[in-house]
Amino acid sequence: MSERKVIVDGQALTINDVCGIAGQQQTLTLSAKKSFVRRIDKGAEFIDSLLQEEGCVYGVTTGYGDSCTVSIPLHQVEELPKHLYTFHGCGLGKHFDSEQTRAILMVRLNSLAQGFSGVRYLLLQQITGLLQQDILPLIPEEGSVGASGDLTPLSYLAAVLAGEREVLYQGKVQATADVFKQLKIIPLVLKPKEGLAIMNGTAVMTAIACLAYQRAAYLSQLCTRITSLASIALKGNAYHFDEKLFSVKPHNGQIKTAQRMRADLQLSAEAPRNDSRLQDRYSLRCAPHVIGVLEDTLPWFKQFIENELNSANDNPIIDAEGEHVLHGGHFYGGHIAFAMDSMKTVVANMADLMDRQMAQLMDTKFNHGLPANLSGACAEQAMLNHGFKAIQIAVSAWTAEALKNTMPASVFSRSTECHNQDKVSMGTIAARDCIRVLELTEQVASAMLMAVVQGVELRGRNELLGAALKTTMQQVRDKVDFLETDRAMEQELRLCMQLIRDRHWSLYE
């Protein structure tokens, strides 16, 4: 594990910080500065003082949601947090994987560390301990409408902090109580505001958005490199990416993509022109216009996600310094919902772009002299072998599924909980949809990476490649052999997918 540290002290973190902890490339430290500890504890102490004065605080001396008109007798207030996480233990679906769960814990920790949630420093220490010892709550993916935050999934974190439910530890699903006993961890008895503070926020959707952002940014670059190789395999007109051409429609992301392709294709003002075919099909000619949309939206995705990451987003907000309890709706995940709905659309468009490039590579009517289906079989075996035929069919299936999943989740708000939660964000569903679209697009990219390398080799134009493209070709051939005779390609596709997830392929600075 790297010695790079992420310090949680109430200061702003980045998407990369969250992803670094989630992927275990960075280590976590919770600040122990007296001023930070004091600021956190002061919120919990303010709640205690309100209780002593018999003040009315939502979720502390009242029921939750529509039940806020129900007063809780002071002698029963301590029991309320346990009831909150208990009745929300109704999640279904698959469990979030280890990387996603670490991200969820990290995002919730950082939000509580802003100092406006009325929790103890001890609670922050307990979450930090889970991350440092890699004790991961089993959190079901389904059951959140994204306001009042991610209540049901985050109830599994609250329950684990209290020593209940199950965790993944050392590769095994175990009872939390058993793991805590083994490691001598004392379960928390949650204070009156702490159950609500843990659960009533946007940590799940924001954590998934952080991971989605990193994957989308890498896919943009990979799709660009694949397109450069496809242009060579298809004897494309590299002057479609001319600098002067792109100067007259100056979308920055589009310009950046064309610039990367010019470098890949060694195209400069001094290079001899080779544009015997006046115009390539759109999936080559317009590739910067497709990929550039994602490049141009990445900065505002980042802004939305990091603003949410560094916010206090539960309810009520506790201003201990000003001695205010502020009731509002910061648990609403609208910004994340919009970012994820938008991201999945631009990512699915890249899957569609590569699918069309694949169709060109395979079809002798369009591939300018390449063998049908990119078959590498020798002449006497050609009639028996089918090259990438089935892979192209699979690419079409994956692309169609990605496009189908672009329906925006955020417009499917439902009125829930006796019409208290009558307008909700669906941000967590949007984030989960986005991850699925990313997975499908990574599958398409895996197939296309193998196909374009095969196409360039079949074209016999390796001597035309610059250093960057030669590196990519060699990296692929180190993992996947030339397809000469038919073989099952599933494991090689899965390997390429994992290498994409690991950002293995050398791309652009």
Which amino acid, 94?
A: K
Task: For residue 93, report the phi and psi dihedrals to the nearest 5 degrees.
Answer: 85, -175
CA 209 – CA 64 distance, rounded (Å) = 27
CA 15 centroid distance within chain: 10
How far is 312 from 317, CA to CA, in rounded Å? 8
Judge contact between 88 and 199, C-beta under 8 A: yes
Sign of CA dihedral 226, 356, 220, 270: positive
58 is a catalytic site residue: yes
Nearest to 483 by CA among 475, 492, 470: 492
Residue tagged active-site, from 58, 156, 239, 332: 58
Q: Which long-range contacts (CB under 8 A, 24 or more apart) does 95-99 make?
A: 95/138, 95/139, 95/140, 95/141, 96/139, 96/140, 96/141, 96/153, 96/204, 98/134, 98/136, 98/168, 99/22, 99/23, 99/211
The C-alpha atoms of residue 73 and residue 335 are separated, in whole angstroms, by 37
Task: Specify the amino acid at residue 390.
Answer: A
Give the residue numbers marked as catalytic. Answer: 58
